[in-house]
Amino acid sequence: MSALKGKDSLIPHEYEELYRKIIEIQRKDSLYSITPGIIHDLNNVISIIIGYIELAKMQSVNEPSKLHSTLDIIEKASLRASQLLSNVLGYAKGGRGEKRTIDLNQIVIELKNLIEKVLEKNIIIEVELSPNPQFIEAEPQEIFQVLLNLCLNARDAMPDGGKLRIETSTVSLHAKDFSEFKPGNYVLLSISDTGIGMDEETKRKIFTPFFSTKPKGSGLGLSVVWSVVKSLGGYIDVESFPGKGTTFKIFLPPSTPKNEIKEIEGEKEMKGNEKILVVDDEEDIRNVTKEILEH
């Protein structure tokens, strides 16, 4: 077992820009890894949409009673493509966000929706979320990157397939549990695989920048995980044995969501004769939006 302590929760100012650049480099590396799977899935969805549009054209003439169900299939396929692109673009933009209170469960759900499209079919994904929201104070994209890095690492550890399991829960740590951890309540994120595992020597080096056991690995994925967790005042515990898989347990300080209630003053009652301005650089989007609003 190897426990890493995030004792200095803030990145020193003189290293902050370097830290951001490393995260950006690693983000692009992760995107490169998942892009082929994303393109494959989008091609499948587009084929479904095109096929059912052709069917809808025929049904509009010969079988109008079946048209509604066909349009439902087209709508679902379009939403699937839109959600996939939204997840990818949100991660790709990165940028310098601000820490805020987020529900870790929601980030896990978004990640699952993405990776189940890009991981090999012989990898089973299991997710078990706490029934209660798991609030933490963090930048959403950095937490997403932590999750994605660990999942891609698990994928690489299972070349012949296996099981990837993601769990969230609330735990209370005592001094006797981990000597290096500060006692208290934590949000626990656990990611485990049934892959090749690691020996003790490899385990000691995995968070070292540029260390990699993969021929074409950048060696930045797990170092970014460690840096993000450390910056949040969290801890990482790693359990791994050769041939028996690996489990990463990330302990993060819990946060309490702020009740942001915004009162709208002077709200005007709509009478139905107002005008709506539709702005978009795509003419077809403007036209279809206009048609929907007018019906």
What is the DSSP code string of 108-126?
A: HHHHHHHHHHHS-TTEEEE
Which of 59-73, 212-226, 246-260 is predicted with the least confidence, judged by mean pLDDT?
A: 212-226
Domains of the chain: 2-16+98-252 (3.30.565.10)
pLDDT over threshold 90, residue 114: no
Question: Which is higher by pLDDT, 220 or 215?
Answer: 220
pLDDT over threshold 90, residue 40: no
Q: pLDDT grade, residue 137 (50/70/90)?
A: very high
Task: Give mean pLDDT, residues 24-53.
Answer: 71
Q: pLDDT grade, residue 1 (50/70/90)?
A: very low
Task: Give mean pLDDT, residues 181-208.
Answer: 90
pLDDT over threshold 50, residue 261: no
Residues 6+ apart with CB under 8 A from 158: 123, 164, 193, 194, 195, 196
- Spatial separation of the C-alpha atoms in residues 86 and 231, rounded to whole Å: 27
- Spatial separation of the C-alpha atoms in residues 103 and 137, rounded to whole Å: 9
Query: What mean pLDDT value characterizes the chain?
Result: 79
Which of 75-84, 146-155, 246-255 is predicted with the least confidence, judged by mean pLDDT?
A: 75-84
pLDDT over threshold 70, residue 277: yes
What is the amino acid identity at position 90?
Answer: G
Maximum average pLDDT range among 36-45, 112-121, 123-132, 262-271: 123-132
Maximum average pLDDT range among 74-83, 87-96, 118-127, 269-278: 118-127
Does the model's pTM come out above 0.85? no
In the block, residue with structure tokens 């990776």 = 115
